[in-house]
Amino acid sequence: MQTAKNRIIAASSRDFKVNKLLFVITNLVLFINFIMQMSMRKFITYYSESVTNSYTGYGLAQAGSVAIALCAVFTVFTLFHELYSKPHADLAYSLPASAKERFFSKLLTLLKLHILPVIFWNIIQFIAIFLTTDITLYMVARYSAVLMFTQLSTSLFVILAVLLSMICCGRLAEMIYTAVIIAACEAALPACIYYSTISPFTVQYPYDIENFVTYCPAWSAFPAHLMEFGYSTKVLLLLIGSALFSALLITLLYFLYKKRDGKDTGKPFVFSAYREIILILAVITVTTYVLSDTSNTILLPALLLGYLLVRILSSNRKLTIVRFVKWVGIFAVYMIVIFGVNILAYFCDGFTDKINGSRLSDANRVCVMNSTSDGVTFHYLSDTLSKDEAMQIIYIYNKALDTRKKSFADYIDHFKPHEISPNSVGVAIDVYTSKDDHTNLDFIDVSFEVTNAEVDNVTEKLKSLSFVEPEQTSYAY
């Protein structure tokens, strides 16, 4: 009698033979991508570990990643067709095979049909580039690794999103649009939250958060976006982590898959909690996007309409006025919570707080700029300052921050287009490794509006510092 492992291997071999056409198509796409990449011999010639690590032609590589990911989508839909096709479901669930055998045999087939060809063609490309150019082995290896893991992380995330949607839905329409929602929201949500809840209200430039938003596409359907930043170690590690994380989650989907029954095929949503998660994800993403750019307010009525359509089309019960009002009420609660968090962010300075001296080093270069409505500007650009000297400047600006008065009316006014107040104070600090090594460890940028009198107060306090020389202080224009 065969063991479960042997039955999985045997089932995978049968699925592979049945779906050989997908294998041919995937390899054809990878071959075309290989030819296009090889036609551009300048794509990795610009590289310096300490200065920049970029290459031309990343647009072509992005297009190749999209085409390869689409092959992954069609492969998943073909292998797991019992999740949306009633005839295939009746056949699959009538066979003497456990959920574990069905699921992992299909994953093994997916590995053969898609993942291994991606790895194979990237190895071929690595060898071809190295043999046909005078680029060093180190540069070729770094470039090839980033390209391969960009394609793998794209494919694995797409497989994860599509397979999750297929397991949690029983109808093709829901599988498609929920997978699209997951992919789009996962990529856009971090930036939407940053530009709606943090950036507009913070008094300082949140360097760490901005970096996170920049690199968050590593785990999404769009990691090819990172190719604009070249093939640094940071990008490579992010892509490797993305691929491994997606692969782990794909494997863990087995625990959802085994809860499905053949009778679930044909239902809009197998798990009602999944529908709620999708709706919440879409509502938060669209609403925070609107809050980041209020010229798109028209999207909110469209969001409500889409929300109600999903509710209506996926409901197994008859639509009544009470049920409709309940759905609208739930939507209103979502909006109240989102706007409540946004208002709280306003009163909490975007949750970034005041400048923290722990971010400073023993070598800091400080630039301050205070402007008043009468056209007088105080400017100071320092030489390298010690941590204690920089903290004296920071203390002055933190005290000025305490003088600001906030109100709900000011919060509303924040979204209206208006001229920037000329009464403002600001300080920017480059944090260096040392006085001799100007490698940038951090960047602090604080700027906010205060009264004219407070601008003068800050200016006078800065002038009183022993290390601020008079000739560096003020000028009028």
User: Cβ of 399: how many Cβ atoms within 10 Å?
Assistant: 14
pLDDT of 114 higher than 90? yes
pLDDT, tens only, 381-394: 888 889 998 999 98
pLDDT, tens only, 210-245: 778 888 889 999 888 887 777 778 889 999 999 999
Higher pLDDT, 407 or 267: 267
DSSP annotation of 169: B
In the chain, what percentage of residues exceed pLDDT 90? Answer: 44
Q: Which two tokens stand for residue 351?
A: 């949750």
Separation CA 114–CA 14 (nearest Å): 16
Q: Which two tokens stand for residue 419?
A: 């001229």
Q: Which two tokens stand for residue 181?
A: 């929602």
Q: Which residues are registered as beta bridge partners of 377?
A: 371, 475
Secondary structure in 3-state letters for 203-229: CECCHHHHHHHHHHHHCCCCHHHHHHH
Average predicted confidence (pLDDT) for the chain: 86
Q: What is the pTM of this model?
A: 0.85
Which residue from 419, 201, 410, 408 is spatially nearest to 291, judged by alpha carbons?
201
- pLDDT at residue number 37: 80
Separation CA 303–CA 297 (nearest Å): 10
User: What is the three-class DSSP state of 52?
Assistant: strand
CB crowding 411-430: b at 16 or more within 10 Å, else e: eeeeeeeeeeeebbbbbbbb
DSSP annotation of 359: G
pLDDT of 57 higher than 70? no
Which residue from 427, 423, 422 is spatially nearest to 451, judged by alpha carbons?
423
Q: What would the mean pLDDT of 53-76 be, rounded to a whole number?
A: 82
Residue 200: in which H helix or E strand, if any? none
Q: How far is CA 20 from CA 26, 113, 160, in A?
A: 10, 8, 22
In the chain, what percentage of residues exceed pLDDT 70? Answer: 93
- pLDDT at residue number 407: 82
User: What is the three-class DSSP state of 381?
Assistant: strand
pLDDT of 41 higher than 80? no
Q: What would the mean pLDDT of 38-58 be, rounded to a whole number?
A: 54
Q: Which two tokens stand for residue 428?
A: 């920017």
User: What is the three-class DSSP state of 51?
Assistant: coil
pLDDT, tens only, 407-426: 888 888 777 765 656 788 88
Higher pLDDT, 146 or 287: 287
Confidence band (pLDDT; 50, 70, 90) for 475?
very low
pLDDT, tens only, 314-372: 887 788 899 999 999 999 999 999 999 999 999 888 888 777 777 888 899 898 888 88
pLDDT of 139 higher than 50? yes
Q: Are 129 and 135 in contact (CB under 8 A)?
A: yes
